[in-house]
Structure 1
């Protein structure tokens, strides 16, 4: 596999836990994911490893995972191609057994051999040998798993095995978190009548998405929303991502219109009591970056969205249009915004060759490509991703890790028959399926008239649209 275990990053923190009550979970950066059940303990291990492999495939690199099960604990390296390497595995000790940590970088399926002497009162003719294999890492293809060797217990080692265990090896905190009862659908209705009902799979999935977008990540994160074609739903996407992240995480969030001339983000959002734009912020950057400047001073330059809880930094609205945003302007504005905000969501223009567009990409942590279900918008999205892939390095990594958001066509929905609506949905699915092999995630958004014209408000959307945008935002947040 070509990578020494010591070179594998320990970020994000991943833990796989299998319990003897038939439950298991995989915890990624503090976000717990339930593991599907199985008929045996080994089934649970395999299902947990499948989730870790999925995480490695998302990151496109091997990951470290700490493992705990009823038999022992240790550490694995899990590769995107499902290969598993064991770094260490320590069986849980008993009163009459020693524990031996097996360290085997690059060796699959280590095992621990324990030798147990006969009781002193019995004739000592031959020691009993117990072999305990590493249950998480299967033997490599083409090899048969055989007993592994370990240090035999003799003399002082056998006496040490009888010593009392350290209190650090146990805990009385073994209870599972109490699952809140259902609040939605007929299950929620019965809960409100006094019959405690478990939530449905759909409600559990929604709760998982809410947990994902409610995280606080170390350091600021920048999202760029890009498509070189106008009318591809970039600005509504920026507004929805910003609103959901701000509402659920409570983190300071700003939507920045990084159009090279005049953008439309200011037209689709609430205006503050001033007319300042990104150019005013850049002109005042020295003051805003001063250690003595109060955090509230940023309010002079952004426009707060009173219902959706995020701020908007508008593009230049100079009638003469005599200023074109430069790469240096982007650097300055980004430095200011990441001092005052944890989440920066950037709208963009239609020119991937523009200096401000390219510099935006350099600052980006997560790429989002919106597209309406129309052929030319989809083709423009494909070309945008292709351009980034061809540049290699950071740009190509962003393209591979991108989230594509496919919205059903707004133009086609206004006066359609039932059959035509079916065709429109089928076209949206065709486009979504076309992007899926090339990016990290694809999410579909249903048509909603509240997104077509005028200021965009999260509360004005239909419930199905809100749920779809929550899923899209969760897909984006998983890339952080």
Structure 2
């Protein structure tokens, strides 16, 4: 993607700080990342900018970075391919005091007395860095004392460094010992073991989904084909993000008529839906309304710590949610929640579907490993890309979640399970060049029928959904 400098957004805010003491950090949207140590200042700069390049690759676009190092400060544009463009740069003034050039108008010095011996040639050695010394003809030095100093200017104190330019906090964070596998078992026996690469990867995913970000975020889960795993995806992303981040999270069934999110989640002590919330929007948006009033309209998930806003379930089923109603409901929910995860219907042309996309920060496209589901996902992304602007940016930055498609009986067959895994990998590989991230989810019977609970999933499925949630949160 090629952008002019003025077109490169300032979000997320990125600072690269390189210090004279050999440490550096890159701060992305308030989150600090330590830079790998290096033998030279230039290598340290390169290591810091490699983290910025990684961020540009994640966003699939150029990013701005404010650079501050011992030699100067300025702003760069860093592209996903690693190329850099300078926007501004200001060099820092040197701390070494440069001797003033002699005044050509001044009178020449008086000739030395005849009996004064001619000194030996002066060595071409640099001026000593030790304050108060000057080199002599033999290469030795003489210390100037108040008695030997001829002018007051020679006693001027050397320029001191600012305390802002140093820090005593240079230690890397202590790595917590292993808690999993045989390494964790040895740690519990008193033998401190470092975590494995797998455990470190899991910790990084947990750190990613545990962050808090400025302002509310909206996730849209879309695929124009039914049975593509949209509702389970909404439930799992909501559960993981709510559990780890502690952010107030709501899953909203934005089906144009009647959706199934309410069937797959826990029901509260009332029957209210999105239409009731819209009818009460004036009261809910009033500054005097207590935050707890939202509980009258949503259904809390007691184990997974998020709320559900159900679609309309009237018997006639004759109401279709309009674009204006989506605006009203979204305004209400973003007042009470930091994270809104939206389920959707199967019609990309519907007014409520298109208005959902208008409010979306991160697009998620679930697909089961069946050809027609994958093709529907591709067409959904193609439709958004063809619309250009915000819609196209969402499509390019999308996260595709591929779930293995099988059933419990077939899963008992080794050949059938292998075929299901191979098909899931083929579809994942097909999407990878066109979106920001692709994550595979193994088959799990707990996702097939009935209410979905995070704790009911197998450990491998929980780990895969954690990776999917981390890929989504990276886009925030």
Task: Provide TM-score, normalisation by structure 1.
Answer: 0.82
Aligned to 2:105: none
Q: 2:355 aligns with which of 359, 363, 382?
A: 359
Cα distance, 1:184 vs structure 2? 1.1
Aligned to 2:111: none
2:384 maps to 1:388: yes
Aligned to 1:81: 81
- Please, which runs of 5 or more residues in structure 2 have no aligned partner? 100-124, 138-153
Alpha-carbon distance between aligned partners in 1 of 2:11 and 2:465, rounded to the nearest angstrom: 28
Alpha-carbon distance between aligned partners in 2 of 1:91 and 1:161, rounded to the nearest angstrom: 20
Cα distance change of structure 1 residues 23 and 231 upon mapping to structure 2, 3 Å threshold:
farther
Q: 1:425 aligns with which of 421, 425, 428?
A: 421
Do 2:238 and 2:341's aligned partners in 1 also have CA atoms closer than 8 Å? yes
- Alpha-carbon deviations, 1:363-389, whole Å to 9, x = none? 111000000000000000000000001
2:186 maps to 1:186: no
Aligned to 2:146: none
Cα distance change of structure 1 residues 184 and 416 upon mapping to structure 2, 3 Å threshold:
closer
Do 1:303 and 1:313's aligned partners in 2 also have CA atoms closer than 8 Å? yes
2:214 maps to 1:218: yes
Cα distance, 1:52 vs structure 2? 1.6
- Mean CA deviation greater in 411-420 or 322-331: 411-420
Aligned to 2:114: none
Cα distance change of structure 1 residues 44 and 187 upon mapping to structure 2, 3 Å threshold:
farther
Alpha-carbon distance between aligned partners in 2 of 1:254 and 1:97, rounded to the nearest angstrom: 64
Aligned to 1:320: 316
Aligned to 1:405: 401
Alpha-carbon distance between aligned partners in 1 of 2:221 and 2:203, rounded to the nearest angstrom: 25
Alpha-carbon distance between aligned partners in 2 of 1:430 and 1:471, rounded to the nearest angstrom: 19
Do 1:413 and 1:421's aligned partners in 2 also have CA atoms closer than 8 Å? no
Do 1:62 and 1:80's aligned partners in 2 also have CA atoms closer than 8 Å? yes
- Within a 5 Å distance, the mapping from 1:78-477 to structure 2 comes to 78-86=78-86, 87-88=88-89, 118=127, 121-122=134-135, 162-411=158-407, 414-477=410-473
- Mean CA deviation greater in 59-68 or 181-190: 59-68
- Mean CA deviation greater in 82-91 or 379-388: 82-91
Task: Provide TM-score, normalisation by structure 2.
Answer: 0.82
Alpha-carbon distance between aligned partners in 1 of 2:291 and 2:172, rounded to the nearest angstrom: 41
Aligned to 2:103: none
3-state SS in 2 of match to 1:186: helix
Alpha-carbon distance between aligned partners in 1 of 2:287 and 2:395, rounded to the nearest angstrom: 36
Cα distance change of structure 1 residues 316 and 161 upon mapping to structure 2, 3 Å threshold:
farther
- Please, which runs of 5 or more residues in structure 1 have no aligned partner? 99-115, 125-157
Cα distance, 1:311 vs structure 2? 0.2
Cα distance, 1:9 vs structure 2? 4.1
Cα distance, 1:198 vs structure 2? 1.4
Aligned to 1:54: 54
> Higher Cα Rg: structure 1 or 2?
2
RMSD: 2.9
3-state SS in 2 of match to 1:266: helix
Do 1:66 and 1:73's aligned partners in 2 also have CA atoms closer than 8 Å? no
3-state SS in 2 of match to 1:267: helix
Cα distance, 1:7 vs structure 2? 6.5
Return the structure number with greater relative CO, CA threshold 8 A, min gap 6.
2
- Alpha-carbon deviations, 1:294-319, whole Å to 9, x = none? 11110000000000000000001111
Alpha-carbon distance between aligned partners in 2 of 1:21 and 1:199, rounded to the nearest angstrom: 29
Aligned to 2:119: none
Cα distance change of structure 1 residues 42 and 273 upon mapping to structure 2, 3 Å threshold:
same
Alpha-carbon distance between aligned partners in 1 of 2:98 and 2:307, rounded to the nearest angstrom: 61
Cα distance, 1:31 vs structure 2? 3.4
Alpha-carbon distance between aligned partners in 2 of 1:245 and 1:469, rounded to the nearest angstrom: 10
Alpha-carbon distance between aligned partners in 2 of 1:269 and 1:449, rounded to the nearest angstrom: 16
Alpha-carbon distance between aligned partners in 2 of 1:193 and 1:187, rounded to the nearest angstrom: 10
- Alpha-carbon deviations, 1:404-457, whole Å to 9, x = none? 000000348635521221111111000000000000100000111110100000
- Alpha-carbon deviations, 1:216-236, whole Å to 9, x = none? 111111000000000000000
Alpha-carbon distance between aligned partners in 1 of 2:215 and 2:81, rounded to the nearest angstrom: 30
Alpha-carbon distance between aligned partners in 2 of 1:426 and 1:159, rounded to the nearest angstrom: 79
Cα distance, 1:29 vs structure 2? 2.0
Alpha-carbon distance between aligned partners in 1 of 2:415 and 2:237, rounded to the nearest angstrom: 32
Alpha-carbon distance between aligned partners in 1 of 2:98 and 2:466, rounded to the nearest angstrom: 51
3-state SS in 2 of match to 1:273: coil
- Within a 5 Å distance, the mapping from 1:64-75 to structure 2 comes to 64-67=64-67, 72=71, 74-75=73-74
